[in-house]
C-alpha cells in the first residue's frame, strides 16, 4: 500500500507522457512538407557533403532528388508505403530496393533510407513513459522512454530528452528490440517555423559503425504546401 | 651368392611372399597418401593464393582488420603510381590490383524495371590492359561455360549458376547496385559477356567478375584499390622468402599510428592458411617417420614369425658349421632383395592409383560448403618427383630394419643345444 502510494506520488510529479509526445508530433510531423537539406558525412577517412531536396506527404509518400555532388546529381528516390525505388541517371534504370535494404546507409551517412524518408507520428507507433528529468544544453528536459506497440518498425525503443518548454526532443537514442543502442541523435538550432518548433540541425551517429557522425542540416523547409500528385509516381523519377 | 639367395626366395615362397606383400602394401599406401596430401594441400594453397590471398597481399592497416568484409572505404589510394614503385622494389614478384566488393545484381525487364535481383560477390581484376595475366591466374578462360571474356569496357562475367538463377544470358544487360568507397549507393550497367564455373562453392554461388577499371568507375574508386596481391615469378609459394619480403615491406611502409598505412601479409598469415603452409612443409618428414616406424615394427614382427618358422633351418645351418654372422648376413641379403622388389611393386601400384586420383580426383563439394578458406570441390592427387622415392626409400630401409631386429635372435642360439633341439 505504502509502495503504491509512493509510486503514484512519484508519477504525479510528471505530466502525461502521451500528451508530450502528441506535442512532439505537432512540432515534427505535418500533412506534407518540402525541404532542402545538406548531409555532411564525416567518414573514417573523409568528409563529404550531399545536398537533397525532399517532398513528403503523410507517412507513406516521399520523393527525394540529389542535387550535389555532381556524380549523384539527378539521382532520385521514391518511397510509397514500404517500397523504395531509386533512379540513377547514369544507368537510366529504376531499381526497386527490397525491404531490408531500407535500413542501409544513405550515401555512406549515418542515416538509413528509413531515417531519411520516414515521417510517422510517435503516437501511432510508441507507448511513452517519463522516467525523469535532465538538463541538455541548458534546457530542462523530460526523459521519456518509448516502446513500440507496432511490429514493423526500425527502432523498437527510443529514449528522448524533450525540452520541457518547446516540446521538442534535443537528444534521442534509438534501440533495437534486444536493447542494443543503434543510433544517437543531437537536435539543435531549434527555430520557430509557422506555429511549430523545428530543429534545423540534427547530428546522427550510427553506433554500429566507425566515423564521426552525419550532420543533417535543413536549409529551408515549408510545411503543408500543395504538392502535385505526379511527384509521387514512378514516372517522375525519370523526369 | 645373390643368385643363390634369389633362387631360394623364389622357390620357397613362404620365405618371401608375406614380407613382399607387406612391403609393397606399405609403400603403395605411402605413395598414394603422399600424392593425395600433396594434391589436397597444394590445391588449397594455390586456390587461395590465386583467388584471394596472393603469395603476399598489401592492404591498408584498417582494411586488414576486416579484410573478410572487403571494406573498400578503407582502400589503398594513389595506386596509379604505387604499384609501379612496389614492383620495382620487389622485382621477384608480380603485383596485381584487385577490388573485392559486395552488391546486388538487378536484371531489367523489357520496360527497364526490375525483373530479377540477387546478392553478388564481385571481383575487379585487370582483364583489358594486357599488362598481366590475371585471367589465366584465376583460370577464368578454362572455367568459361558460355560466352567469352570481356573484350571491351562495361562487359562482365557472372558465375554460371547465378546467371541461370537470374535467367540472364550473354548479351543481356544488367545493373550492379553497390556501394562506393565513400558509402554512396552506386549503380552501373554491364553487359553479360560470359558465364563461368570454377568448382569452388564460394565463387560459384553468385559472383560477378569485371575489369578493374569498370569496377573503379562503378564504385567511385578512381586511383584506388582494395588490395594489391603479389605472386612469386617462380609461380610457387616460398614461405621463408615471403616472410622476408613482408618484414622488409612493413618496416618501410607500415606505421602502427596510421590506420591507413600499408600493411603486407604473407599467404601463411591470412585466412588460417598458416597451418596448411606449415603442414605442407612437414608432411614429408612426418610421412617418412611414421612409415619407417610402422613398417619396421610390422616387418620385425614378420621377420620374427619367419625366424620362428625357419628356426629349424637356421639350427641346421649353424649345426653343420655355418657361422652365425654368415646366417645373419644372408638374412639381411634376402631382406635387401625383398625390400627392393617389394618397394618397386609398391611404387608401381601406388603410382597407378595416384595417377588415377590425379586425373579424376574426388568430389568433396558437400564437405566444403562451410569452409572458411577457399577450397575447390574436386580434390586431385598430385604426383611430384618426390612421390617416386618417398615410399621406395623407407620401404627399402624398413625391411632392413625389420631383418636387423629379427635376426638378432640368431646370435642367441646356443651351439651346444643345437643337436638336442634337432633330435627333438
Cβ–Cβ below 8 Å for B113 and A94: yes
Chain B residue at shortest CA distance from A107? B184
pLDDT at B420 over 80: no
Counting beta carbons within 10 angstroms of the beta carbon of residue B343, is it exposed (0 to 12), middle (13 to 18) or buried (19 or more)? buried
How close A120 comes to chain B (CA, Å)? Answer: 25
The residue-averaged pLDDT of B206-227 equals: 94
Question: What share of chain B has pLDDT > 70, as a percent?
Answer: 85
The C-alpha of A213 sits at a distance from chain B's nearest C-alpha, in angstroms, of 13
pLDDT value at position B407? 73
Residue of chain B whose alpha carbon sits nearest to that of A105:
B183
> What backbone phi and psi angles, to 5 degrees, belong to B75?
-70, 170
List phi, psi (to 5°) of A60. -110, -15
**Per-residue pLDDT tens over the stretch B248-307:** 999 999 999 999 999 999 999 987 777 777 777 677 677 767 776 777 677 667 666 666
d(CA B208, CA B102): 9
Q: What is the pLDDT of residue B209?
A: 96
Which residues of chain A neighbour B189 with C-beta distances below 8 Å?
91, 93
All residues of chain B having their beta carbon less than 8 Å from the beta carbon of residue A92 are 112
Residue holding cell 613398417? B295
B57-75 pLDDT per residue, tens = 999 999 999 888 889 989 9
The per-residue pLDDT for B1 is 62
Distance from CA of B73 to the nearest CA of A (A): 8
Report residue A72 as a C-alpha cell: 549523384
pLDDT tens, position by position, A213-237: 999 999 999 999 999 989 999 899 9
In a domain, A4, yes or no: no
Task: Kindly report the pTM of this predicted structure.
Answer: 0.73
Q: Which residue has the higher pLDDT, B225 or B365?
A: B225
- Supply the mean pLDDT for chain B: 84
Q: What is the pLDDT of residue A5?
A: 44
Contact A91 B188 (CB under 8 A): yes
Highest mean pLDDT among A101-115, B24-38, B248-262: B248-262
CATH label of the domain that carries residue A206: 2.50.20.10
pLDDT at B424 exceeding the cut of 60: no
The number of domains in chain A is 1
Mean pLDDT of B134-162: 93
Complex ipTM over 0.90: no
CA max distance for chain A: 70
Q: Mutate which of B183, B214, B221, B259 to disrupt the A interface (most A C-beta within 10 Å)?
A: B183
Dist. CA B116–CA A95, nearest whole Å: 10
Q: Give the integer Cα–Cα distance in Å for A84 and A102.
A: 8
Average pLDDT, stretch B378-395? 83
Q: Confidence band (pLDDT; 50, 70, 90) for A106? A: confident
Hey, CA dihedral for A212, A214, A219, A223, is it positive or negative?
negative
Q: Which of A130, A183, A138 is nearest to A156 (CA)?
A: A183
| Spacing of C-alpha B199 from chain mean position | 15
Helices (H), B310-323: 311-319
- Cβ–Cβ pairs < 8 A, chains A and B: 63
pLDDT at residue B384, rounded to an integer: 85
pLDDT digits (tens, 9 = 90+) for A2-58: 444 444 444 557 899 999 999 999 999 888 999 999 999 998 888 889 999 999 998
Q: Is residue A5 part of a domain?
A: no
CA distance linking residue A211 with residue B195, whole number of Å: 39
Assess if residue A210 is contained within a domain. yes
**Residue B78 scores a pLDDT above 60:** yes
Summarize pLDDT for A149-188 with one digit per residue, the tens: 998 888 999 999 999 999 999 999 999 999 999 999 999 9
Tell me the residue range of the domain where A120 lies: 16-237
Residue A145 scores a pLDDT above 90:
yes
A200 within some domain: yes
Mean pLDDT of A189-197: 92
- pLDDT (0 to 100) of residue A221: 94
Cis peptide before A69 (omega within 30 of 0): yes
Count of Cβ atoms closer than 10 Å to residue A192 Cβ: 9
Which residues of A, range 130-189, sit inside 8 Å of B by Cβ?
none
Overall average pLDDT of the B105-131 stretch: 90
Cell triple for A152 = 514493423
How high is the pLDDT of residue B414? 67
Amino acid at each position: 500500500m505504502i509502495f503504491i502510494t509512493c509510486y503514484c506520488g512519484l508519477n504525479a510529479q510528471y505530466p502525461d507522457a502521451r500528451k508530450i509526445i502528441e506535442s512532439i508530433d505537432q512540432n515534427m510531423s505535418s500533412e506534407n512538407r518540402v525541404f532542402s537539406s545538406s548531409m555532411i558525412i564525416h567518414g573514417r577517412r573523409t568528409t563529404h557533403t550531399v545536398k537533397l531536396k525532399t517532398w513528403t506527404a503523410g507517412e507513406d509518400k516521399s520523393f527525394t532528388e540529389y542535387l550535389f555532388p555532381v556524380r549523384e546529381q539527378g539521382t532520385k528516390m521514391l518511397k510509397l508505403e514500404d517500397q523504395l525505388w531509386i533512379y540513377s541517371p547514369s544507368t537510366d534504370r529504376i531499381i526497386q530496393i527490397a525491404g531490408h535494404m531500407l535500413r542501409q546507409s544513405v550515401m555512406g551517412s549515418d542515416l538509413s533510407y528509413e531515417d531519411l524518408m520516414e515521417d510517422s507520428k510517435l503516437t501511432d507507433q510508441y507507448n511513452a513513459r517519463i522516467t525523469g528529468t535532465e538538463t541538455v544544453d541548458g534546457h530542462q528536459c523530460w526523459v521519456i522512454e518509448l516502446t513500440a506497440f507496432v511490429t514493423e518498425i526500425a527502432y523498437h525503443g527510443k529514449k528522448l530528452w524533450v525540452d520541457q518548454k518547446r516540446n521538442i526532443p534535443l537528444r534521442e537514442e534509438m534501440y533495437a528490440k534486444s536493447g542494443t543502442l543503434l543510433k544517437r541523435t543531437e537536435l539543435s538550432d531549434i527555430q520557430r517555423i509557422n506555429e511549430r518548433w523545428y530543429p534545423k540541425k540534427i547530428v546522427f551517429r550510427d553506433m554500429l559503425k566507425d566515423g564521426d557522425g552525419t550532420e543533417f542540416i535543413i536549409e529551408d523547409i515549408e510545411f503543408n504546401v500543395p504538392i502535385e500528385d505526379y511527384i509521387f509516381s514512378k514516372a517522375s523519377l525519370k523526369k | 651368392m645373390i643368385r643363390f639367395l634369389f633362387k631360394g626366395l623364389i622357390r620357397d615362397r613362404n620365405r618371401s611372399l608375406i614380407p613382399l606383400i607387406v612391403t609393397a602394401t606399405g609403400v603403395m599406401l605411402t605413395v598414394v597418401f603422399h600424392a593425395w596430401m600433396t594434391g589436397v594441400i597444394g590445391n588449397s594453397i594455390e586456390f587461395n593464393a590465386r583467388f584471394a590471398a596472393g603469395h603476399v597481399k598489401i592492404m591498408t592497416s584498417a582494411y586488414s582488420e576486416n579484410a573478410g568484409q572487403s571494406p573498400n572505404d578503407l582502400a589503398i589510394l594513389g595506386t596509379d603510381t604505387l604499384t609501379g614503385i612496389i614492383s620495382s622494389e620487389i622485382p621477384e614478384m608480380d603485383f596485381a590490383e584487385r577490388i573485392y566488393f559486395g552488391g546486388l545484381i538487378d536484371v531489367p525487364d523489357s520496360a527497364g524495371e526490375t525483373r530479377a535481383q540477387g546478392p553478388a560477390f564481385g571481383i575487379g581484376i585487370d582483364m583489358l590492359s594486357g599488362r598481366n595475366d590475371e585471367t589465366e591466374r584465376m583460370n577464368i578462360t578454362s572455367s568459361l561455360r558460355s560466352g567469352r571474356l570481356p573484350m571491351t569496357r562495361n562487359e562482365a562475367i557472372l558465375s554460371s549458376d547465378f546467371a541461370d538463377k537470374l535467367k540472364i544470358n550473354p548479351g543481356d544487360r544488367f545493373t550492379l547496385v553497390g556501394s562506393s568507397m565513400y558509402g554512396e549507393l552506386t549503380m552501373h550497367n554491364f553487359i553479360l559477356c560470359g558465364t563461368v564455373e570454377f568448382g569452388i562453392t564460394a565463387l560459384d554461388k553468385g559472383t560477378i567478375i569485371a575489369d578493374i577499371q569498370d569496377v573503379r568507375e562503378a564504385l567511385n574508386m578512381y586511383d584506388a584499390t582494395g588490395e594489391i596481391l603479389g605472386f612469386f615469378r617462380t609461380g610457387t609459394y616460398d614461405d621463408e622468402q615471403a616472410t622476408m619480403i613482408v618484414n622488409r615491406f612493413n618496416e618501410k611502409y607500415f606505421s602502427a599510428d596510421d590506420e591507413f598505412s600499408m600493411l603486407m601479409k604473407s599467404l601463411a598469415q591470412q585466412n588460417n592458411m598458416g597451418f596448411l603452409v606449415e603442414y605442407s612443409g612437414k608432411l614429408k618428414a612426418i610421412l617418412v617417420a611414421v612409415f619407417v616406424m610402422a613398417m619396421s615394427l610390422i616387418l620385425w614382427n614378420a621377420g620374427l614369425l619367419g625366424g620362428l618358422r625357419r628356426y629349424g633351418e637356421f639350427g641346421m645351418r649353424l649345426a653343420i658349421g655355418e657361422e652365425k654372422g654368415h646366417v645373419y648376413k644372408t638374412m639381411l641379403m634376402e631382406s635387401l632383395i625383398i625390400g627392393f622388389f617389394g618397394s618397386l611393386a609398391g611404387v608401381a601400384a601406388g603410382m597407378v592409383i595416384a595417377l588415377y586420383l590425379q586425373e579424376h580426383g574426388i568430389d568433396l563439394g558437400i564437405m566444403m560448403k562451410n569452409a572458411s578458406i577457399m577450397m575447390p570441390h574436386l580434390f586431385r592427387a598430385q604426383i611430384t618427383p618426390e612421390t617416386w622415392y618417398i615410399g621406395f626409400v623407407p620401404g627399402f630401409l624398413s625391411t632392413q630394419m625389420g631383418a636387423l631386429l629379427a635376426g638378432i635372435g640368431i646370435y642367441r642360439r646356443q651351439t651346444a643345444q643345437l643337436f638336442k633341439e634337432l633330435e627333438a
